[in-house]
Structure 1
C-alpha cells in the first residue's frame, strides 16, 4: 500500500460479521453523568447525597452491561466523568456535615450550662 507524502497509512479493519450489532451509546452513562453533576452541584447543601449515590449505583450497572456487551456499548468517558462528579459530591456532603457538626459543638460549648439565675439570687 502506498500513500502520498505526509499521509498516515490506513489500518485495515477486519470485516465485521453481518450479525454483529452496531455500537450504541449507553443511556445509563449519560444518566450517571447527569446525576453526578447534580450531586456535585448540590453537595454543599447536603442534598447531593441522593443523586450521587444513585449515580454510583447506576455506574456499577452500566459497567456490567458494557462488559457483557463485548464492546458494543459506548459511553465510557461519560461514565468516568459521572463517577468522578458523584464522588466529588459525596466529599462535599461530608465536608458540609463535618462543618455543621463543628459549628454546633462550638455553639453548644458557648451556651451557658444549667439554670441562669439573676445576680442577686444566692
Structure 2
C-alpha cells in the first residue's frame, strides 16, 4: 500500500502562511528610523563639543514619533533595530554633553577659587 506513494524532494514547509490580502502594503523600513540613527550618531560624535545636544534631542523626539507610527502601522513599518541604536547614540551624546558641562563648571569654580580677590598691595604696606 505505501510502496506507490512518492514525496517531492526538498524541504517541507513547517506551517503554511495564511494568504495576504491583496491590498495589504509591503513591509518597508521607516525613514524616521534612519533619521533617528543619523541624528543620534551626530549627537554622539559632537557630544563633547556641547553641540550634540540639538541633534540628540531631535533624535529622541523623532524616535517617539517613529514608535507611534510603527505601532499604528500594524507591523508594516520596520526598522526597530535602527531606532534602538539611534536612541542609544542620542542618549550617549546627551551624557557626553552633561559630562562636558560638569567638567567646565568644576574647572571654572577651581580657577575662580584660586584667583586673588581685592587689591594686591606690596608686603611693606598696611
TM-score, normalized by length of structure 2?
Answer: 0.88
Cα distance in 1 between the residues matched to 2:116 and 2:97: 31
Task: Report the alpha carbon displacement of residue 119 of structure 1 after superposing the two structures with TM.
Answer: 2.8
Give 2:118's match in structure 1, choosing from 111, 114, 119: 114
Task: Report the alpha carbon displacement of residue 8 of structure 1 after superposing the two structures with TM.
Answer: 7.6
Task: Report the alpha carbon displacement of residue 45 of structure 1 after superposing the two structures with TM.
Answer: 0.7
- After superposition, the C-alpha distances for 1:40-71 in whole angstroms (9 at most, x for unaligned) are 00101111000000000000000000001001
| 1:1-122 correspondence to structure 2 within 5 Å | 9-122=13-126
Unmatched runs of 5 consecutive residues or more in structure 1? none
TM-score, normalized by length of structure 1?
Answer: 0.90
Task: Report the alpha carbon displacement of residue 14 of structure 1 after superposing the two structures with TM.
Answer: 1.1
Cα distance in 2 between the residues matched to 1:15 and 1:92: 49
Cα distance in 2 between the residues matched to 1:4 and 1:93: 61
Q: Which has the larger radius of gyration?
A: 2
Q: Match of 2:112, SS?
A: helix
Unmatched runs of 5 consecutive residues or more in structure 2? 1-6
Q: Do the aligned residues in 2 keep the contact of 1:40 with 1:90 (CA within 8 Å)?
A: yes
Task: Report the alpha carbon displacement of residue 121 of structure 1 after superposing the two structures with TM.
Answer: 3.0
Write out the 4+ residue segments of structure 1 that deviate beyond 3 Å after TM superposition.
2-5, 7-11
RMSD across aligned positions (CA): 1.8
